[in-house]
Amino acid sequence: MGHLYYGTSTESIQIPDRLLSHLKVVTTTKLRRSESFTLSWTHVDGAPGRSTLWLQPAIPLRFVFDAAEPESLDAATLRTMADMAGSSAGLIVELDADIPTAEAAPRPAPVRSADRSGRRAALSAAA
């Protein structure tokens, strides 16, 4: 079980190493590009509620892994997580699961574009 330290807090968020490895890649990629986003999860071990963090480049993060060897990463999972992080809902993970799947990703919001008159028109993202 790995640990994510956020800000100046000495308390960590426990996250399975494999999930934390994927989260580290997505987070560092987005923050390197100065792209802030939210990370949310439902509490586990019988604790009620859920938490959300606002991740942005000025807030320190530290990833601590139990395993000395790096986890193998799944490209499709990284894409799914990056897409979720870029959505208005943010990146939502299940701490008691291994890694999020494409089926767990939220549906994209409608895309907006301007029509010829300059008015905003909504285009449905649903097929």
The full set of domain ranges for the chain reads 2-123
Average pLDDT, the chain: 81
Q: Print burial letters for 3-42: b (CB count within 10 Å at least 16), e (below 16).
A: bbebeeeeeebebbbbbbbbbbebbeebbeeeeebbbebe
Neighbours of 77 (CB within 10 A): 19
The whole-model pTM stands at: 0.74
Find, among 57, 58, 44, the residue nearest to 13 by Cα.
Answer: 44
pLDDT of residue 126: 31
Q: Which tens digits make up the pLDDT trace of 68-98?
A: 998 889 999 999 999 999 999 999 998 887 6
